[in-house]
Copies of this chain bind each other. A is one copy, B any other.
Amino acid sequence: MLIPVQKATEIILNQTEDFGCESVPFIESLGRVLKEDIYADRDFPPFDRASMDGVAINVDSFNKGQRDFIIENIQAAGSAQLTLKNPANCIETMTGAVLPKNTNAVIQYELTETKNNTVTINTDDVQFYKNIHKQGLDCKKGSELISKNTLISAAEIGVFATVGKSFVSVAKQPKIVIISTGDELVEVNEMPKTYQIRRSNVHTLVSLLERLHIKSDTLHITDDKELLKAKIKTALNDYDVLLFSGAVSKGKFDFIPEVLDALGVEKLFHRVKQKPGKPFWFGKKDTKTIFAFPGNPVSTFVSCVKYFEPWYQKSVGLPFENKPTAILASDFEFKAPLTYFLQVKLENKNGCLYAHPVTGNGSGDLANLALADAFLELPAVRSNFAKGDVFPILTYR
């Protein structure tokens, strides 16, 4: 019995797993999911900081009409705070430096003139704290800067560095093995016989996982029931997730469902109302999660993006966000009562995403994926899809 795509998604998202946390050097955490809240370890800025290069003065002197200030000293960034001894003088002060004691404004060089050792200020536009980034203005010591479950980008890396988090806690990645079956497959560097093809799906899956910063192992097993049983048993012990490609349909050598059953894996569904990818099988054994994708290249590809990715994202704690959508750029018809994953090329125009169908020759045509950017998810309940209609989009670039 085929189940609808939405039901398959629900079942899968009810089967997420927590793989725990690990501490990694902050500079290696890009693309991972943060598992602790990050707080300011001091005020930011940590001191009243000059935000321009110029001269620090006491504004009271300026307000009394004084315009010429003798240079008393120079305050460099990274030097301890100096003190202005005579309020009628000034201290040259560099961007990033501490504001010298007894001063309360920095006049940028552009508005001054220096002769001998005296600076003349050529503006009347001077206020208290001009060009000073005040201590704690960006945030106060102890305030939360980044919350748990954030996907780490270069921006977060910068914050970790700033607050001294040389190690951060991130979600552990699941241990994943990608298993191909099918006696027609040969290795990439081999010359296939007429009736053979090269192994490609495992490599595609490795790359889709790499995009999620997940390292994975691969394995090929020939279509032999006993061998499959032995090797899959080991894989169930060694890995958190098994991704299969192939051998889940109605063929005489499609042993995967039977072998998984014999190994005590519970089938949660088999066959989904979708094209491509109808024979998709999903199951669970204790904490181990098994995605058995159909062997056609595009079926495997779209199933990984549509089902594995959100399962992974929910498992590691990424917050649910509105899934992206795109606008169909030309009319399209698909008659079967199945959810159709249409290959599309995306175009950003005037702030909107237009999905142009890239029509191929069915689920076997991997070359077509290289011409597209994404899949537009067309619901099973309709068969005519009009230019301008909006649908969910699954991107892979």
Contact = CB atoms under 8 A, between A and B. Distances in A.
Contact of A207 (B49, B157, B195, B197): B157
Contact of A200 (B76, B146, B162, B208): B162
Contact of A159 (B40, B163, B195, B367): B367
Contacts of A183: 76-79
A207 B154 CA distance: 5
Given A162-B200, A203-B158, A138 B360 contact: yes
Contact of A166 (B188, B325, B326, B372): B188
Interface stretch (A7-15, A116-124, A229-237, A249-257): A249-257
Contacts of A351: 325-327, 352-354, 390
Interface stretch (A16-24, A92-100, A258-266, A334-342): A92-100
Contacts of A297: 158, 162
A27 B46 CA distance: 46
Contacts of A1: none
A197 B162 contact: yes
Contacts of A240: none
A216 to B, nearest CB: 11
A251 B191 CA distance: 65
In the complex, the 5 A-B pairs of residues with the closest C-beta atoms, listed nearest first: A78-B184, A78-B183, A154-B207, A161-B200, A155-B369
Interface of A: 26-27, 30, 40, 42, 44-47, 49, 51, 53, 74, 76-81, 92, 94-98, 108-110, 133, 137-139, 145-146, 150-151, 153-166, 182-185, 188-201, 203-208, 210-211, 223, 246, 249-254, 295, 297, 301, 322, 324-327, 347-354, 360-362, 364-370, 372, 390, 396-397
Given A81-B194, A164-B188, 17 more contacts: A30-B210, A51-B362, A51-B364, A77-B253, A78-B196, A80-B195, A138-B360, A153-B370, A154-B204, A154-B205, A154-B208, A158-B297, A163-B198, A165-B188, A325-B349, A327-B350, A351-B390
